A and B are shown apart, each in its own frame.
Chain A
Amino acid sequence: MSELRGTTLVVLAAIVLLWELAVRLLHVPPILLPAPSRIIAEIASAPWFYLRQSGDTLITTVAGFALAVVLGVTMAIGIVYSRLLERVIYTLLVALNSLPKVALAPLFVIWMGTGVEPKIAIAVMLAIFSIVVDMVLGLRSIDPDILAMAYVSRARPVAVLWKIRLPNALPTLFAGMKVGISFALVGAIVGEFVAGSDGLGTAILIAEGQFDTTRVFAALVMLGLLGTMLFYAIEFAETLLLPWHPSHRARHGNARG
């Protein structure tokens, strides 16, 4: 594991080095492509600014993502247990997903103003689809014999949901959440583009207006770090919550007895 991580770091460092060398040797103007050293110097010159903007985007993303998970899981349960909801919600979601949702962003600004609300709403809208789809799949992919076992044991439907269907769906829910968290971040940035006064999205927009490519790149680097951090946070939660899942067993040292 650590060996692999080492390799990743070496490759990454090589790319950055190549980039630095190319910019310097070919005399690329910073307005087209700033060298990595310039980008790092830019972040170092105003660390608080970049941290605050990242923090704003982080809060919007996490709020949107959390709401998407709560709403998505609830919708998925409704879809699995009711034919009517399946027809209505599922059809609606599929229709919504086939729209370029980013194009709906200005609507949310009209409805909710320019505060944090439309940004969260856009993040929810982008993240919820993968969460609902994967949660529905997880709730449905239960061994019918396990359901028969519970039925014969006179288990109440609530117990079947809580003790069998939900834990069984967790691995697929996590797969949906890993996709969803990236979409929530995209949603937050789009929200900041159309209604922003803070956040990395706004920082990018302002820097673009000033043709300050270095600042655009600095914000992008922060964005990349944020996205990576969020993804691994979900993966970490997964290893904590699902030590029983086959994808995590090997790491715990399987003692077969």
Chain B
Amino acid sequence: MSACVQLRGAGKVFPSRRGEVTALRDVTLSVDDGEFISLLGPSGCGKSTLLKCVAGLEDLTSGELLVRGETVDGPPPGLGMVFQRDLLLDWRTVLDNVLIMAEFQGLGRREQKPRAISLLERFGLGGFIDRHPWELSGGMRQRAAICRALLTEPQLLLMDEPFGALDAMTRDDLNVELTRIWQTARRTVLFVTHSIAEAIFLSDRVVVMSPGPGRVREVVPIDLPRPRPLSIQATPEFAAYVTHLRGVFEELGVART
């Protein structure tokens, strides 16, 4: 397996009025092709900054960042990104919101339309393609945003706390759908979250980050069989991972549930 994303000694310093703020320090991480990686940590640990650097939205101030062997300088091709908010355009229907990705990348709308519809159907939005975003619930809107990111079949999917604003049940639901989609077409996923259970449930490896400055604390491989049903969260193996990760955070003085 080749590396999809490689970080070597990556650092990011933001200038600010009260001196410099170090968001990332000496982050070294290699993400394999087809791997599902979660970046887990409390707010301020630089996990979102790290994701923005991979997306080409921010530049590193030190170290190296490669996506499929190429130094990142602007958004790498073959990238899909899902944000914390759905960022759907109010004046477009759900279908047109998904198809905007085809328009952005110079692909024919007509050719991409069947794929957009089948994606929306797979995410349970088949009956809502002609609706406007404001007619949908928060969970449905985020599903549409995921369809938009997946339309052009990105090899690398970046997800920045995509389910953070949703209620627990919708969140579970979307986690199951996400793993199902990921298993049918294995693409590399970098998933930012501050939920320990979500990170364990989804990932092949959990990258634990700590704040002030943001750096990688520990990388925990998750050896749970796939496909993982929601009920896996009740198994002792799952509980052991939760206990371990919670212990790491307690050590850092940022105990979270």
Contact = CB atoms under 8 A, between A and B. Distances in A.
Interface stretch (A64-72, A119-127, A140-148, A232-240): A140-148
Interface string B55-87: 111000000000000000001010101010101
Interface string B100-124: 1101110000000000000000000
Contacts of B101: 153
B135 A149 contact: no
Interface string A148-169: 1111111110010001100110
A257 B136 contact: yes
A76 to B, nearest CB: 19
Given A244-B132, A257-B131, A257-B135, A152 B81 contact: yes
A150 B131 contact: no
B104 A153 contact: yes
Given A145-B87, A159-B103, A159-B104, A151 B132 contact: no
A249 interface: yes
A196 to B, nearest CB: 42
A143 B87 contact: yes
A87 to B, nearest CB: 25
Given A145-B83, A163-B103, A164-B89, A257 B128 contact: yes
A83 interface: no
Given A153-B101, A159-B104, A249-B134, A148 B128 contact: no
B135 A154 contact: no
Contact of B135 (A163, A167, A246, A254): A254
B87 A244 contact: no
Interface in A170-199: 170
Contact of B100 (A156, A163, A244): A163
B87 A146 contact: yes
Contacts of B56: 151-152
A244 B90 contact: yes
Contacts of A163: 89, 100, 103-104
Q: How large is the interface on B (under 10, 10 to 19, 20 to 34, 35 or more residues)?
A: 20 to 34
B128 A145 contact: no
Q: Looking at chain A, what size class is its interface with the partner chain?
A: 20 to 34
A242 B101 CA distance: 22
A152 B57 contact: yes
Which of A152, A155, A245, A256 is most buried by chain B, counting CB atoms within 10 A of its CB? A152
Contacts of A168: 89, 91
Contact of B79 (A145, A152, A246): A152
A167 B91 contact: yes
Contacts of B75: 151-154
Contacts of A156: 104
B131 A153 contact: no
Nearest to B56: A152
Contact of A151 (B57, B89, B105): B57
A255 interface: yes
A159 B104 CA distance: 7
Contacts of A153: 75, 81, 101, 104-105
A149 B103 contact: no
A135 B131 CA distance: 28
B121 to A, nearest CB: 16
Given A159-B103, A257-B128, A257-B135, A154 B77 contact: yes
B81 to A, nearest CB: 5
A149 B87 contact: yes
A254 B132 CA distance: 10
B158 to A, nearest CB: 8
A170 B89 CA distance: 13
Contact of A145 (B85, B104, B105): B85
Contacts of A167: 89, 91
Nearest to A242: B91
A238 to B, nearest CB: 13
A143 B89 CA distance: 10
A244 B91 contact: yes
Which are the 9 A-B pairs with shortest beta-carbon distances? A155-B104, A153-B104, A244-B91, A152-B81, A152-B75, A167-B91, A152-B55, A149-B87, A244-B90
Interface of B: 55-57, 75, 77, 79, 81, 83, 85, 87, 89-91, 100-101, 103-105, 127-128, 131-132, 134-137, 158
Interface of A: 143, 145-146, 148-156, 159, 163-164, 167-168, 170, 242, 244-246, 249, 254-257
29 contacts: A145-B87, A149-B81, A149-B87, A151-B57, A151-B75, A152-B56, A152-B57, A152-B75, A152-B81, A152-B158, A153-B75, A153-B101, A155-B105, A159-B103, A159-B104, A163-B100, A164-B89, A167-B89, A170-B91, A242-B91, A244-B90, A244-B91, A244-B132, A244-B134, A245-B90, A246-B134, A249-B134, A256-B137, A257-B131
